[in-house]
A and B are shown apart, each in its own frame.
Chain A
Amino acid sequence: AQSVAQPEDQVNVAEGNPLTVKCTYSVSGNPYLFWYVQYPNRGLQFLLKYITGDNLVKGSYGFEAEFNKSQTSFHLKKPSALVSDSALYFCAVKDTGGFKTIFGAGTRLFVKA
């Protein structure tokens, strides 16, 4: 069975500084990996995904994520944080052979001006 761990409940960063939101995963086969963002009282929005190929994936709003197979990690990054990036971020994993997408517990990102 697949699972996702987001070790940080909250990440605080100053505007203009780089940010990293951590994610590790467990899956029996090859993974599809995703990052989604949720703003208050809203549904989730897709940011980016890893299927295969380049370990660095670029997504929406200047976000990128780095896939590391040996460490089973898929950390979300952005070179320069904006106050508007403050939201709840979810890492998710899907087994290439299945239908289910499993989400982590979420990490709340606060960007201070």
Chain B
Amino acid sequence: SQTIHQWPATLVQPVGSPLSLECTVEGTSNPNLYWYRQAAGRGLQLLFYSVGIGQISSEVPQNLSASRPQDRQFILSSKKLLLSDSGFYLCAWSQGTGGSGANVLTFGAGSRLTVL
């Protein structure tokens, strides 16, 4: 069966420090991978998605970047955190069918980032 792991679960970082959140998927190959941010326990904002190694699509220009160094690994990074980067970050995957489709997203447990 497929599983998704996301870490760290909780992170407190000072303003201006770097960030690295990691997400890995097991039990599948060539998944579509996604990073969402949830602010104040409400709506989800799509940040990045990837349909293959090294292929990253950015939805919102901001202080963050994403990378996919391996097929089932997706990393969210920042060189210098801002206060506004605080939030709950969710990684998700869906079946990569080589195109679009009504594929359900499976989410990780989330990483709560507090920037002080």
Contacts and interface: CB of A to CB of B under 8 A. Distances in A.
Nearest to A47: B104
Contacts, number: 63
Given A99-B32, A106-B42, A106-B43, A45 B107 contact: yes
Nearest to A48: B104
Contact of B90 (A43, A46, A100, A105): A43
Main secondary structure of the interface of B (DSSP, over half): strand
A91 to B, nearest CB: 11
A96 B100 contact: yes
Nearest to B36: A103
B113 interface: no
A74 interface: no
Contacts of A106: 42-44
Given A41-B110, A44-B90, A44-B105, A103 B43 contact: yes
Interface residues of A, number: 27
A76 to B, nearest CB: 16
Interface in A33-51: 34, 36, 41-46, 49, 51
Given A44-B90, A88-B41, A49 B110 contact: no
A11 B6 CA distance: 31
Interface of B: 6, 32, 34, 36, 41-44, 46, 49, 51, 57, 59, 90, 92, 94, 100-102, 104-110, 112
Interface of A: 32, 34, 36, 41-46, 49, 51, 88, 90, 92, 94-106
